[in-house]
C-alpha cells in the first residue's frame, strides 16, 4: 500500500478515535450525574463509544507501524539501488545543511516588548565559553519579509546580565525613534556581559584596547536573522549608564567593525580612551562617537567633555559629538529620550542602504 495512503488512513483513525473518546467521556459524565440523582440511565452508549475508541487506537498503532516499516523498506531499496549504480559511477554525498538551518534552533522567543519580538540563544563569547545573547526584532522585521536590517549591539555594564535586564525601556526608546521618523528600524543584539568582575566596563575603561573582535557573535546573528552584512556600513554600538564606557571603547578602537557608537549617561577615562583610539586598525575610517547626557547630569557632561578634549590633544582620528539638551520631569523619561537621540545619531551616521 502506498505510504501516502497509510498516512491518510492514520490521520482518519486519529481524528475518529479522538471524537469517540471525547463522546465516551461526555456520556460517562452524564451517566454519573444520573446515578447521583437516582435517575434512570443506560450504560450501553458509553461502552460502545469506549470500545470504538480503543479499536481506533489499535488501528492508529498498526497504521503507524506500517508507515514506518514502509519508509524503512523504501530507504533500504534506495540504498541498494545506489550500491548498484555506484559500481558504475561514484555516488555524490548529500550537501550539508545551511548554517542558518542548524543555528536557528539556538534562539527561542522570550517576549514581545515595544511592538517587536525578543529572542534569546547562546553564542560562544570571545573566551570560547557560551554566553546568553538576546536579539530584538522590530515590528518592521515581519512586515517587510524581504528587507535586511542594520544592527545595533547594546552593551551591558553588569556582569552576567544583558542591557535590557538593567534597562527594560531600551527597546521602547529605539521603537519611539522609528515611530517619530527619526531613525530607520534596527535589529538590536544584546549580549550578556562577561563575569569575573562586578562592573565589566570598568576594565574596558582602563584598557579599551582589550575590545575583542566578536566574530562568533556576528556570524551567529548573520546566519539566523535577516541583517545587513557585518561591518562599519551597517553595524553600530550603544551603551547606557554603566554600559556606556564599553560602547565608547568599542566605537573608538574598532571603527573597522562599527560605523558609529553612542554612549549615554556614562563616566569615562578620557586619557585611556584617547590612547586606545590611536591604536585603531590601520586603514580604517575615523571613529564616530556620540556622548549623550541629560542637561542636569553635570558629572556625566563633564566626563564627556574630558573625553572629547583628550581625543583632540592626542590627535586621534575620531569625530566626537556631545548631546546635552535632553531634559524631562523624571530620570526614566530622560533616559528614554536619550536613547532616542542616540539611535537617531546612529541612523544618520550609517550609510543609507
Cell of 25: 467521556
Q: For the packed helices 3-36 and 44-86, what is the interaxial angle rounded to 10 degrees?
A: 160
pLDDT at position 63: 62
Mean per-residue pLDDT, 163-191? 93
Beta strand pairing call for 117-124 and 108-111: antiparallel
Is the pLDDT reported for residue 75 higher than 70? no
Beta strand pairing call for 235-240 and 261-264: parallel
Q: Name residue 319's beta-bridge partners.
A: 288
Q: pLDDT-based confidence at 66, cuts 50/70/90?
A: low
pLDDT at position 148: 96
Mean per-residue pLDDT, 264-269? 94
Is the pLDDT reported for residue 84 higher than 90? no
The CA–CA distances, whole Å, from 296 to 116, 167, 186, 301 equal 32, 20, 29, 9
% helix / strand / coil in the chain, to the nearest 5?
Answer: 50, 15, 35
Is the pLDDT reported for residue 193 higher than 60? yes
Between residues 89 and 327, the one the model is more confident about: 327
pLDDT at position 258: 94
Dihedral sign for Cα atoms in the order 138, 140, 143, 149: negative
Closest CA to 335 of 152, 156, 169, 136: 169
Task: In whole angstroms, give the CA distance from residue 26 to residue 57.
Answer: 18
Q: pLDDT-based confidence at 191, cuts 50/70/90?
A: very high
pLDDT at position 263: 97
pLDDT at position 77: 35
Is the pLDDT reported for residue 264 higher than 50? yes
Q: How many CA atoms lie within 13 Å of 269's alpha carbon, on the beta-carbon side?
A: 17
Is the pLDDT reported for residue 23 higher than 80? no
Q: Which 3 state secondary structure label does DSSP give 303? A: helix
Distance of CA 321 to the CA centre of its chain: 30
Arithmetic mean of pLDDT over the chain: 80
pLDDT digits (tens, 9 = 90+) for 196-234: 666 778 766 566 555 656 888 999 999 999 999 999 999
Q: 40: which residues sit within 8 A by CB, 6+ positions away?
A: 34
pLDDT at position 104: 44
Instruction: Tell me if 31 sits within 8 A of 46, measured CB to CB.
Output: yes
Q: pLDDT-based confidence at 37, cuts 50/70/90?
A: very low
The answer to whether the pTM exceeds 0.85 is: no
Task: In whole angstroms, give the CA distance from residue 172 to residue 281.
Answer: 34
pLDDT digits (tens, 9 = 90+) for 104-137: 437 999 999 999 999 999 988 777 788 899 999 9
pLDDT at position 90: 35
Q: Which 3 state secondary structure label does DSSP give 258? A: coil
pLDDT at position 205: 59
pLDDT at position 26: 66
State phi, psi for 333 to the nearest 5 degrees: -65, -40
Cell of 295: 542637561
Amino acid at each position: 500500500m502506498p505510504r501516502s495512503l497509510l498516512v491518510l488512513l492514520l490521520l482518519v483513525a486519529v481524528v475518529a478515535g479522538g471524537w469517540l473518546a471525547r463522546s465516551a467521556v461526555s456520556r460517562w459524565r452524564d451517566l454519573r450525574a444520573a446515578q447521583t440523582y437516582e435517575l434512570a440511565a443506560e450504560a450501553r452508549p458509553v461502552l460502545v463509544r469506549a470500545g470504538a475508541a480503543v479499536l481506533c487506537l489499535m488501528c492508529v498503532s498498526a497504521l503507524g507501524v506500517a508507515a514506518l516499516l514502509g519508509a524503512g523498506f523504501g530507504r533500504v531499496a534506495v540504498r541498494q539501488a545506489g550500491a548498484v549504480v555506484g559500481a558504475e559511477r561514484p555516488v555524490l554525498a548529500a550537501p550539508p545543511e545551511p548554517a542558518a538551518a542548524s543555528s536557528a534552533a539556538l534562539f527561542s522567543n522570550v517576549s514581545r516588548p515595544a511592538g517587536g519580538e525578543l529572542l534569546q540563544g547562546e553564542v560562544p563569547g570571545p573566551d570560547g565559553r557560551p554566553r546568553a545573547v538576546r536579539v530584538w526584532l522590530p515590528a518592521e522585521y515581519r512586515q517587510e519579509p524581504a528587507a535586511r536590517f542594520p544592527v545595533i549591539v547594546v552593551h551591558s555594564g553588569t556582569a552576567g546580565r544583558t542591557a535590557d535586564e538593567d534597562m527594560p525601556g531600551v527597546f521602547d526608546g529605539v521603537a519611539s525613534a522609528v515611530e517619530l521618523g527619526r531613525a530607520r528600524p534596527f535589529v538590536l543584539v544584546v549580549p550578556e556581559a562577561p563575569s569575573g568582575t562586578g562592573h565589566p566596563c570598568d576594565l574596558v575603561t582602563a584598557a579599551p584596547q582589550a575590545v575583542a573582535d566578536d566574530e562568533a557573535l556576528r556570524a551567529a546573528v548573520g546566519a539566523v536573522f535577516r541583517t545587513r552584512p557585518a561591518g562599519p556600513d551597517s553595524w553600530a554600538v550603544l551603551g547606557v549608564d554603566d554600559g556606556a564606557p564599553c560602547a565608547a571603547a568599542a566605537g573608538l578602537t574598532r571603527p573597522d567593525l562599527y560605523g558609529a557608537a553612542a554612549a549615554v549617561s556614562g563616566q569615562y577615562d578620557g586619557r585611556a580612551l584617547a590612547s586606545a583610539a590611536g591604536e585603531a586598525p590601520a586603514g580604517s575610517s575615523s571613529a564616530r562617537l556620540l556622548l549623550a547626557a541629560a542637561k542636569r547630569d553635570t558629572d556625566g557632561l563633564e566626563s564627556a567633555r574630558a573625553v572629547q578634549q583628550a581625543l583632540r590633544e592626542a590627535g586621534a582620528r575620531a569625530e566626537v559629538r556631545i548631546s546635552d539638551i535632553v531634559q524631562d520631569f523624571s530620570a526614566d523619561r530622560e533616559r528614554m529620550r536619550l536613547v532616542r537621540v542616540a539611535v537617531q545619531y546612529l541612523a544618520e551616521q550609517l550609510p543609507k542602504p
